[in-house]
Amino acid sequence: MLINNKVKIIYVATCLFSFSFLFAQENEKDYVVTFTKNSLKPMVQIEDGSGAERIELFEEYARKMNPLTPELKMSMTLGHYWTGVSTDVITINAYESIADADKVNENEQKTRERAWRRDDVREEFFKNFGKYWVGGHSDLEIFRLIPERTKSRKRKPKENTVITITTHYLAPLSEVEGGSAEERKEIMDKYFEDVEMKNDKLLSQIVLGHYWSGELGYGKGWPIVYVREWASLADADDNESWGKVREQAWPDEVEREAKLKRYFEYWSGNLHEDMGIYYNWVNLQK
């Protein structure tokens, strides 16, 4: 056991060094990102409930609470599409630190009192708001945002969007023939700037690295989570759009094939896990 632990420590330390080199995590915007799951009550169980009232209440909550929560830097609320239980709601929140996340929770009641100053109005709102939820929640993951791989929207969509969440695995450098942290960073930068940023079907993305939860190691490499936003599932499944921007990035076919082959060698041969497909309620987003 001592030998295994020593090997694990060396492996993690090596990954941390090369990972920091690749993504420059000292950036002030490498937020802590939390994934939380809540559950909606089925509509048939709610007396005097409706889908229209539910979304109206949810939007009012976001509209009033988000501006009064400066510690909350980003937030997405994701509803069921093709993944998980139909009543699942996944919330992705970003903070500068775990301490800020705790502060938001500790101050929630005070923030509510500021948002709805009249006691009777506040009580009525949360009576109606609460009837749509099953009590309790599940804390799923805690990640670190990789700011250098963030793609922001050009404009806010008019309709709800589709979010795909996928985990890819960076191969240990020792398993990449002739590989180096410098070459890997160069290849990753090129792919982000000339492929991901220029694919107009990809509306936005955040990329997340391992922090305090989830698996690390087990022969898979270093986990990197891609949260990507699309106008539709058809756009998410449109491989032709990726092909076009790759051709623009490397017009010469021989060079393109060689560059992409090398790119995927750093990604454990494109090993990945599809974590979910969700609806993004854009009016709840911060």
Tokens 């090997």 sit on residue: 7
Q: What pLDDT is attached to residue 200? A: 96
Contact criterion met (CB below 8 Å) for 215 and 222: no
**Whole-prediction pTM:** 0.86
Which residues belong to CATH 3.30.70.100 in the chain?
Answer: 2-30+145-284, 33-142
Distance CA 38, CA 36 (A): 7
CATH number at 33-142: 3.30.70.100
Q: What pLDDT is attached to residue 89? A: 96
Contact criterion met (CB below 8 Å) for 36 and 77: no
What tens digit of pLDDT does each residue of 11-60 get?
A: 333 333 333 334 333 345 889 999 999 999 999 999 899 999 999 999 99
- The answer on pLDDT for 235 being more than 60 is yes
Which fold does the domain 2-30+145-284 belong to in CATH?
A: Alpha-Beta Plaits (3.30.70)
What tens digit of pLDDT does each residue of 124-160 get?
A: 999 999 999 998 889 888 999 999 999 999 999 999 9
Mean pLDDT of 204-227: 81
